[in-house]
Amino acid sequence: MILKYLFTRSEFRGAMILTSLAIGIRIIAIATGSKTVPEASFSEGAALNDSVQQKRVPAKIEINKADSVRLLDLNGIGPVFARRIIRYRQSLGGFVRIDQLLEVYGMDSARFVGFRNQITLDTLSLIKLDVNRATFKELLAHPYLEYEHVKSLCRFRESKGILYFPGELWAAGALPDSLRVKLLPYFFAGSDSVEKPSKGLVK
């Protein structure tokens, strides 16, 4: 009751809060002061923690080289989809864009988004088609080429002779413009037709 006359209500509340804080700080200081840990222990623990965190971060999967077992590490990819991805990659000659995985039979956007950030892409291992020497059957096996496309390509090749650039196929109207962006990465011609087979780049 005496305190009530010495302080106003707000001053009294403030004094009580400050007293509580002081007591709490004192208790913490006593507790921590009785168990001192060398700085080296903290640094070693931090280093160990960092190494554990690094191990937990999985390495990205290079989609053009991964085998079917490695593909199982992707979210939402089981044995069936792993085999489908491998087969489609082989028929293409390799992926040039990550979103081509959406062309794999049965692949939906939700599944694709689930593993999109787990993969990376290296196009150096692409297997290309020599437009001067690829057979009708080899051309027809490519997913982007239909029978009429291949027939038109072969007809133009016979009339033209040697093609020096794959772009000649579109300049002459032998292939539709809608296929240009899709197919150009998989074609080569001209002097490359002689040089690249020795490097294993012809399908």
For the chain, which residues make up each domain, given as ranges? 2-56, 61-125, 129-199
Which pLDDT belongs to residue 42?
45
Q: Grade residue 88 by pLDDT with cuts at 50, 70 and 90.
A: very high
What are 36-59's pLDDT values in tens digits? 444 444 455 555 455 445 545 568
The domain at 61-125 falls in which architecture?
Answer: Orthogonal Bundle (1.10)
Give pTM, 2 decimals. 0.65
- DSSP-derived letter for residue 175 is S
Q: Quick one: how far is CA 35 from the chain centroid? A: 48
Amino acid (1-letter code) at residue 114: G
Query: Which carries the bigger pLDDT value, residue 160 or residue 47?
Result: 160
In the block, tokens 């692949």 appear at 107
Q: Rounded CA gap, 137 and 8, in Å?
A: 97
Radius of gyration of the chain measured on its C-alpha atoms: 33
Which pLDDT belongs to residue 37?
43
Question: How much is the mean pLDDT over the chain?
Answer: 80
